[in-house]
Amino acid sequence: MSKIYNAAIVGFGGQGHWHSFLLNKSDRINCIGAYDIRAERNEVAANEYNLHVYNDYEDMLNDEKVDIIIVATPNDVHHDLVVDALKAGKNVICEKPVAMNSIELEDMIKTAKECGKLLMVNQNRRWDEDFLIMKEIYQSADLGPVHRIERRVHGAHGIPGDWRQYPEYGGGMMLDWGVHLLDQMLQMIPEKLKKVYCTLSYVTNERCDDGITVISTFESGLVYVVEVGTSNFIPLPSWYMLGRDGTAIIRGWGAQDGEIVKSTGPDGEVVPVLTANGITKTMAPRRDDTIEHKPLPTVDKCYGVFYKNVADVLDGTAEQAISNESVLRVMRLMEAAFKSAKLNEAVDFE
Ligand code: NAD
């Protein structure tokens, strides 16, 4: 029978709850305790989740029953909490963004190596169904050579009214959602990323970016646009992929609302369309007999893969599904994007 590992969560807010909820379904990792600096959060952990609540973080680190510390606090304290846990002989799952910058992350990786303990970052959106579908389309070459991908998440609430509004706590949309979308991009495109151009928006907050647009150009010339917006009352599609022979789209969060439209052969005669002040052939839609509409491919749902991988790595039977080198590459990309936004020019990356 496989070994079952015990975890304890530091920071019992939104994501702390989510880990606890998910771990209830895991047959490899058991959540046994929690600690938060806010008393009311500890009460929820004890009363609603039936977890042991520690007096302080040190008390948690001293508990010999705990194999894994899950760090789910605001971003500015990740580094110190992770390093303390590793030095106390614990394995660590840390929330994204793993740190405030690459210097902190390099130190965390070095400490994990020195202590011989696992550091795994929760880049959970590598298993999102919409991402896996688009990755599958890209890899299948069904659209012919892909030359442009646009990936967006759009909301209309501004930045949530918590620590995310303050740069000193690691707030802002680059670190909140940008980290997920840029991570997905680097997982999908196995090429060198040559140039990065970024703009940041400050519509609802003067100090923290409430929206980002990052345009990345890869070695082959492929352009990949990542956009996070929080003042978008009409959201644009979440995925839009353009190949020589077709286009794929996913409009919302799930995989339900999307399709592929592909050319079936020569264009044939183009019938002009009438627009506001004239006719156009160039922008006329393709005739129905020259295209086909296809459903999106299906992919495995991958529930519970993350925790299972952590347990397998601790057993010594698997490699980390999320390597720390891949997380460091994303961190450096975000730094390049911030630099580009500051200079208002494209910067070299790799
Ligand atoms: P939150 O504000 O809801 O919860 C954070 C909690 O940490 C609060 O209860 C706070 O009191 C506590 N805290 C702060 N400093 C602490 C300390 N030194 N010791 C113990 N507790 C401390 O925030 P959240 O939305 O849960 O985000 C937490 C982390 O999870 C962030 O890094 C965020 O980016 C990440 N997150 C990841 C995902 C994902 O899908 N992977 C989703 C949401 C949030």
Final residue belonging to a domain, choices 88, 122, 156: 122
73 and 152 both lie in a single domain: no
259 and 295 both lie in a single domain: yes
The label of the residue with tokens 């590793």 reads 86
2-26 mean pLDDT: 96
245 and 160 both lie in a single domain: yes
CATH code, domain with 102:
3.40.50.720
Final residue belonging to a domain, choices 122, 151, 180: 122
94-101 mean pLDDT: 98
* Half-sphere exposure for 300 (CA within 13 Å, toward CB): 6
272 and 156 both lie in a single domain: yes
How confident is residue 120, by pLDDT bands cut at 50, 70 and 90? very high
Residue 34 pLDDT: 98
208 and 116 both lie in a single domain: no
Q: What total of structural domains would you count in the chain?
A: 2
What is the domain extent for residue 78?
A: 5-122
How confident is residue 129, by pLDDT bands cut at 50, 70 and 90? very high
Flag whether 227 is in a domain. Answer: yes
List the beta bridge partners of residue 70: 9, 93
Please tell me if the CB atom of residue 203 comes closer than 6 angstroms to any atom of ligand 1.
no
Residue 256 pLDDT: 82
99-122 mean pLDDT: 98
CB of 321 closer than 8 Å to CB of 309? yes
136 and 163 both lie in a single domain: yes
Residue 164 pLDDT: 97
List the beta bridge partners of residue 150: 225, 240
Please tell me if the CB atom of residue 15 comes closer than 6 angstroms to any atom of ligand 1.
yes
Please tell me if the CB atom of residue 13 comes closer than 6 angstroms to any atom of ligand 1.
yes
CATH code, domain with 292:
3.30.360.10
Q: What is the pLDDT of residues 223-269, one digit of tens each?
A: 999 999 999 999 999 999 999 999 999 999 878 899 999 999 988 88
Structure tokens at 148: 């442009």
Report the separation in Å between the CA atom of 164 and the middle of ligand 1, taken as the mean of its atom positions.
10
Q: Whose CA is nearest to atom 2 of ligand 1?
A: 13
154 and 293 both lie in a single domain: yes
Go through the chain and tell me how many residues it has.
350
CB of 128 closer than 8 Å to CB of 204? no
Residue 302 pLDDT: 81
Nearest atom in ligand 1 to 10's CA: 20
91 and 110 both lie in a single domain: yes
Please tell me if the CB atom of residue 152 comes closer than 6 angstroms to any atom of ligand 1.
no
Residue 2 pLDDT: 84
- Specify the pTM: 0.97
219 and 155 both lie in a single domain: yes
Distance CA 229, CA 319 (A): 35
147 and 282 both lie in a single domain: yes
Flag whether 36 is in a domain. Answer: yes
Burial class of 158 by CB neighbour count within 10 A (0 to 12, 13 to 18, 19+): middle
* 100 CB neighbour count, 10 Å cutoff: 19
Residue 254 pLDDT: 78
116 and 132 both lie in a single domain: no
The helix/strand/coil state of 338 is helix
19 and 157 both lie in a single domain: no
Residue 347 pLDDT: 98
Q: What is the pLDDT of residues 131-155, one digit of tens each?
A: 999 999 999 999 999 999 999 999 9
CB of 307 closer than 8 Å to CB of 122? no
Report the separation in Å between the CA atom of 244 and the middle of ligand 1, taken as the mean of its atom positions.
43
